[in-house]
Amino acid sequence: MKPFFQLHNGLMREGPGTADDVAWALEVAKTPKAARMCDAGCGPGTDAVTLAKLRPAGTVHAIDTLRHFCVAARSRLSHLRERATVEQGDMAQITGPYDLIWSAGALYFIGVTEGLNAWVKQLAPGGRIAFSEPVLLRAPTEKVSEFWAEYPEITNYEGIVTRVRKAGCRVLDHRMIVGQGWANYYDPMQARINLLRPTASPELIEALDAGQWEIDQWRSAPEEFAYALLVVEPT
Ligand SMILES: C[S@@+](CC[C@H](N)C(=O)[O-])C[C@H]1O[C@@H](n2cnc3c(N)ncnc32)[C@H](O)[C@@H]1O
């Protein structure tokens, strides 16, 4: 197994968030009881389980490009049988109709405007999209710019709203994911690092150090960046 997946093996999440964020979005989006939902960029599938649990008459289609995460999501969703499916594929190519497209920390891989442009065409009438996106809470320090070096397009909340509008959508509501949502991601990762380090190969040590660096950067500047969770609809 590649060092990255050795580190991430068994983690419930691959980005910040809580079950309460999912519940909040379902309420804001007024997602119907028998909703057809998509978890785009599902990672290991924890949010897909929450979506299915909170809409017990609904269905969830989870999709991710990475086989490792699809295997984890399939196993996590297996008790839901025909109510949940997992596909290894490109979320830019999903086919609806969906009452809710949920995407935690994944839309930025294909671009907010570009992704929303594709997804609005896959919504059922009245359908909505809920997504979380990295957001700067203040002018970035050098440290924060380094943290987000692989996503130089990171912007503030107003910048995200501009990208939403460019896709012909409007924001119904938003909230910031701070604190517990980040701990849900980084605390279990810290535990994996501590567990693996004593017997790690040099390649794995590299991956552990990269993970530790990320955790330390977040711990040293938790008030400087967050994830914004937005619920949007086509205008
Ligand atoms: C930061 S992780 C978040 C995962 C999950 N939503 C969560 O919160 O645990 C982003 C995920 O998006 C997936 N991803 C990136 N680009 C994708 C694409 N074009 N199609 C499907 N999945 C994609 C990655 O493989 C990764 O699992």
pLDDT value, residue 222: 86
> What's the pLDDT at 172?
98
Q: In terms of DSSP H, where are the helices of the chain?
A: 3-8, 19-28, 46-54, 67-77, 112-120, 142-147, 157-166, 180-196, 202-220
Q: How many helices (H) and strands (E) does the chain have?
A: 9, 7
Helix (H) or strand (E) holding 108: none
pLDDT along the chain (235 residues), means of 10: 95 97 98 98 98 98 98 97 96 98 98 98 98 95 90 95 98 96 97 98 97 94 92 98
d(CA 107, CA 117): 11
User: 141: which DSSP letter?
Assistant: P
- Tell me which of 42, 49, 101 to substitute to probe ligand 1's pocket, judged by most ligand atoms within 8 Å of the beta carbon: 42
State in Å: Cα 68 to ligand 1 middle.
11
User: Cα–Cα distance between 177 and 174 in angstroms, integer?
Assistant: 10
User: How far, in Å, CA of 38 to CA of 79, rounded?
Assistant: 18
- Sheet containing 59-64: give its strands across: 84-88, 59-64, 36-40, 98-104, 123-136, 225-234, 169-177
Q: How far is CA 174 from CA 5, 28, 177, in A?
A: 32, 9, 10
Ligand 1 within 6 A of CB of 70: no
What count of other Cβ atoms lies within 10 Å of the Cβ of residue 11?
Answer: 18
> Ligand 1: does its nearest atom lie under 6 Å from the Cβ of 129?
no
C-alpha span between 102 and 60 (Å, rounded):
10
Rounded distance from Cα 170 to ligand 1 centre (Å): 23
Query: What is the rounded distance in angstroms from the CA atom of residue 177 to the CA atom of residue 130?
Result: 13
Report which DSSP code applies to 80: G
Closest atom of ligand 1 to 66 CA is 25
pTM to 2 decimal places: 0.97
Query: Nearest CA to 174 among 122, 131, 218, 111?
Result: 131
Give the nearest ligand 1 atom to 17 CA: 8
Please, which contacts does 149-153 make with residues 24 or more away whose CB atoms are closer than 8 Å?
A: 151/108, 153/108, 153/111
Ligand 1 proximity of 127 Cβ (cutoff 6 Å): no
- Which helix (H) or strand (E) segment is 84 a member of? strand 84-88
The structure tokens 């501590």 sit at: 194
Distance of CA 61 to the CA centre of its chain: 15
Pair 98, 71: CB distance under 8 Å: no
